[in-house]
């Protein structure tokens, strides 16, 4: 293995460069996870290309969050492989090491460090040495200060920089968490429901931000808000019962008979059997997806 467990606890190395010569940055292969017999992930295969923006959709319990947990090391899969680039085996690393090799995560429920100021929150998230002595004796360089200011501007919290994070509104906390993600300069961003609790305008800004990030970073978004997904997504992956049901552009996915079947439920199986080849009109499936998503949201 090339990564030496991402450094000692005392001084930790910088982000490693994953080998992406094949164009794929994240390999998830044959991954299964079960909780007390319940299969949360079932032989799941997923490849995220370098610089891609990918949306994950799926009903509750489809395994979206579990997948994120597996990639970020919170849950160890029962079987399967998860690689970062070609050479880094993520299953060998723990959460902090995975974060350090360049995979950042935004949680479904915004979690920021509430007893710290917005500024400190960003400062802690900056890429760089995460060792103890550096933390104890290190001072912010001018560059780092500029970077923090820049991020604060990007997320629109410049005026709130020295507020305790606990005083921020829900939407602001979402932004702060995105800011923390930016500060870490990850190669892959895993974003779990970024726009929950945001106003329409904020949602728009988030969409803008995420699309602008793609290219330099690879972004994986889990979202229930279909309008949002449509506005940003180039490729959509549909998860169902722990495995990938369909993958493709939004319209492809929406017209996929399997997806429609799942979203419309098993009852309609007989009907769909007849005109399987032609599929349902895309509108009806889409409507259903949105209806079901708003219910969950």
Partner 1 sequence: MRRFISVLFCCLVSWYAIADDDVNTKDSTAASSSIDSELIELVNQLPNTKLNKMQPLVENIAAIKSHKTREVLQILLAGDLYYLKSDKTLVNAQKQNDGNYQLTNILTDEALAPVKKRAIRKIRSNNRLRSAIRSFIAKIDLTDDDKSTRYGAVEQLLEKPSQETLDTMRSLLPLEKDADVANLMQTVLLIEQLKHGKIDEQLSAVAGLKSSLEPVVLNTLSALSEELSASEKTQEQEQLLTAMSKAIATIESKRSNYKFIENVFFGLSLGSVLLLAAIGLAITFGVMGVINMAHGEMIMLGAYTTYVVQLVFPNLIEYSLLIAVPAAFVVTGLVGILIERGVIRFLKGRPLETLLATFGISLILQQLVRTVFSPLNRQVQSPEWMTGSWQINPVFSLTFNRLYIILFAIMVFFTLLMILKKSSLGLHVRAVSQNREMAKALSIKSDWVDAITFGLGSGIAGIAGVVLSQLTNVGPNLGQAYIIDSFLVVVFGGVGNLWGTLVAAMSLGSINKFLEPITGSVLANIIVLVGLVLFIQKRPKGLFPQKGRAVD
Partner 2 sequence: MNMKTTHTFVEIIRKMSHLHIVVGTLFVATIYVSFCNLAFAESSFLHVSDYTVSLFGKYLCYALLALAVDLVWGYCGILSLGHGAFFGLGGYAMGMYLMRQIGDRGVYGNAELPDFMVFLNWTELPWYWAGSSSFLWMVLMVFVAPGILAFVFGMLAFRSRVSGVYLSIMTQAMTYALMLAFFRNEMGFGGNNGLTDFKEIAGFSLQDPHTKLGLFVVTAIALAIAYWVSNYIVKSKLGAIITATRDAESRVRFVGYKPEYYKVWIFVVSAMIAGVAGALYVPQVGIINPGEFSPLNSIEIVVWVAIGGRYTLYGAIIGAILVSYAKTRFTAIMPEAWLFALGGLFVLVTLLFPKGIAGALPGVARRFGLDANTNDNKTNKNNAQSEEQGTLKAPRAGGQ
Within residues 214-273, the interface with partner 1 by CB under 8 A covers none
Token representation of residue 45? 């295969």
CB of 221 to partner 2, least distance (A): 17
CB nearer to partner 2: pick between 95 and 216: 95
Helix (H), strand (E) at residue 43: strand 38-49
Whole-angstrom distance, CA of residue 153 vs CA of residue 142: 17
Site string for partner 2, 167-186 (x = CB under 8 A): -------------x---x--
36 binds, among partner 1, partner 2, none (CB under 5 to 8 A by kind): partner 1
125 sits near partner 2 (criterion: CB under 8 A):
yes
41 sits near partner 1 (criterion: CB under 8 A):
no
User: Virtual CA dihedral for 219, 224, 227, 230, nearest 10 degrees?
Assistant: 40
Distances (CA, A) of 188 to 15, 53, 75, 115, 237: 12, 10, 18, 28, 16
296 sits near partner 1 (criterion: CB under 8 A):
no
124 sits near partner 2 (criterion: CB under 8 A):
yes
Whole-angstrom distance, CA of residue 100 vs CA of residue 113: 19
36 sits near partner 1 (criterion: CB under 8 A):
yes
Distances (CA, A) of 196 to 24, 64, 109, 174, 212: 29, 16, 9, 8, 20
Unique residue bearing structure tokens 């090339």: 2
CB nearer to partner 2: pick between 3 and 99: 99
Residues that bind partner 2 (CB under 8 A): 9-10, 12, 72, 74, 94-96, 99-100, 104-105, 107, 111-117, 119-120, 123-125, 130, 132, 135-138, 159, 161-164, 180, 184
Q: Residue numbers of the site for partner 1 (CB under 8 A)?
A: 35-36, 38, 40
């Amino acid at each position: 293995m090339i990564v030496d467990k991402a450094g000692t606890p005392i001084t930790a190395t910088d982000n490693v460069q994953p080998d992406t010569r094949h164009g794929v940055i994240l390999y998830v292969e044959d991954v299964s996870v079960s909780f007390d017999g319940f299969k949360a992930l079932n032989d799941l295969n997923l490849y995220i290309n370098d610089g891609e923006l990918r949306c994950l959709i799926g009903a509750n319990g489809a395994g979206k969050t579990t997948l994120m947990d597996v990639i970020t090391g919170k849950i160890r899969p029962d079987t399967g492989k998860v690689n970062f680039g070609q050479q880094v085996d993520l299953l060998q690393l723990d959460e902090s090491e995975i974060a350090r090799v360049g995979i950042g995560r935004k949680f479904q429920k915004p979690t920021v460090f509430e007893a710290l100021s917005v500024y400190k929150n960003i400062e802690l998230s900056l890429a760089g040495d995460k060792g103890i002595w550096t933390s104890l004796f290190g001072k912010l360089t001018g560059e780092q200060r500029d970077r923090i200011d820049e991020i604060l501007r990007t997320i629109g919290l410049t005026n709130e920089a020295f507020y305790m994070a606990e005083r921020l509104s829900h939407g602001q906390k979402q932004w702060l968490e995105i800011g923390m993600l930016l500060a870490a300069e990850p190669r892959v961003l895993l974003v779990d429901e970024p726009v929950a609790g945001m106003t329409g305008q904020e949602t728009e800004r988030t969409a803008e931000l995420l699309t602008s990030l793609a290219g330099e970073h690879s972004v994986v978004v889990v979202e229930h808000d279909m309008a949002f997904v449509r506005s940003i997504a180039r490729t959509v992956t549909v998860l169902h019962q722990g495995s990938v049901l369909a993958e493709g552009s939004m319209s492809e996915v929406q017209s996929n008979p399997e997806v429609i079947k799942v979203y419309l439920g098993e009852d309609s199986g007989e009907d769909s059997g007849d005109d399987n080849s032609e599929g349902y009109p895309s509108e009806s499936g889409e409507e259903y997806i949105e209806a079901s998503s708003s219910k969950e949201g």
